[in-house]
Amino acid sequence: MANVATRAKRTQKARVPLTRLALTDFRSYADALLSPGPGFVVLTGENGAGKTNILEAVSLLTPGRGLRRAALSEMARDTGAGGFAVAARLGDVDLGTGATPDAPERRQVRINGVQAAATALSEWLSVLWLTPAMDRLFTESAGGRRRFLDRLVLALHPGHAVHTTRYEAAMRARNKLLAENERPDGDWLSALEAQMAEHGVAVADARAGTIAALAACIAGAPESVFARAGLALVGWQAHDQQAFARVLAEGRARDAGAGRTLAGPHRSDLQVTHLGKAQPAERCSTGEQKALLLGIVLAHADLVAARTGRRPILLLDEVAAHLDPSRRAALFERLADTDGQVWMTGTEDALFDAIPAAASRFKIASGHII
């Protein structure tokens, strides 16, 4: 009963947007404080002013390496040698993360002042983002698409971060054992392969379930100016745990020769199709790819809200500048119909004139917030 009450309490708090964000020695900010309201949070300023740095700080309030996937030491204002802190208020919950000068690559997390694992952040907050770098998502490596998919999965399955972390750790240990020993310990290999099977199947199942639910959500959504995306998981397919462990055991010699593990969820890929044109996303125009990504993220936010009662915070970096006026207005209307918090950046205030609701607006200039 206590667990149910705790979970309900967490869900209720997670509906509340961020009302306070404080940065200390983070990127271009020596000391900064924002107190945004619900709904739209608009950050404007010249290129290089530090707008994306603020979005990156918000993205660090979830597990992972944030929207830039940078090393912690690169985030400190005194790059490589200093520490930094990001603190936020979510309802009556205080979230914080950062690093210290004596351990610049060791991430520290606190929830209400109590030290916690980074994976615990996903119980309180979901954050999704689109950045200019993601415009190449469909044409670059499968690894980037898996990371994008895992971010979607994490919002629905908070334990997903634990499974991916433990799977990758066991796989690295197995690869090292195969590479450094002509006759590796069979029992040790079996133990590592059992861990890979346990967590790998959980990762694959969560990905498949999320794709199926998201595809249904997209199919059931009304027509809009944003292209409908068809989603599929291709490449390696999930086994049950025993079958996967057997595949790994039988493939030891092959994997030793290749220098890497050749079977597992790290070998699968997210395939996206423009349904209206029956065309793979990588063959679509840049504008169509942007529209596909937006459609996926918006549908996923609806799915998470319906499934968990908590709408993810959206971070949209320079998205408005890459949309024509009609699509920009349609995006704002679509976002205004939700009860979620949306952080957006742009170089000009005029890009956000069509926002049909109240917004918290901040001017960013050389590491200062006005």
Q: Are 61 and 121 in contact (CB under 8 A)?
A: yes
198 Ramachandran zone, left/alpha/beta (phi>0; psi -120 to 50):
alpha
What average pLDDT score do residues 10-32 get?
Answer: 79
Taken as a whole, the chain contains a residue count of: 370
C-alpha pair distances (Å), 368 with each of 23, 30, 306, 316: 11, 9, 37, 20
The model's pTM? 0.86
pLDDT at 326: 85
pLDDT at 16: 64
Average pLDDT, the chain: 90
pLDDT at residue 15 greater than cutoff 60: no
pLDDT at 13: 39
What average pLDDT score do residues 345-360 get?
Answer: 91
DSSP 25: E
pLDDT digits (tens, 9 = 90+) for 164-196: 999 999 999 999 999 998 889 999 999 999 999
What average pLDDT score do residues 289-309 get?
Answer: 90
pLDDT digits (tens, 9 = 90+) for 42-57: 999 999 999 999 999 9
pLDDT digits (tens, 9 = 90+) for 190-200: 999 999 999 99
Helices (H), the chain: 2-14, 51-59, 72-75, 142-156, 160-180, 186-220, 241-250, 252-258, 286-308, 325-336
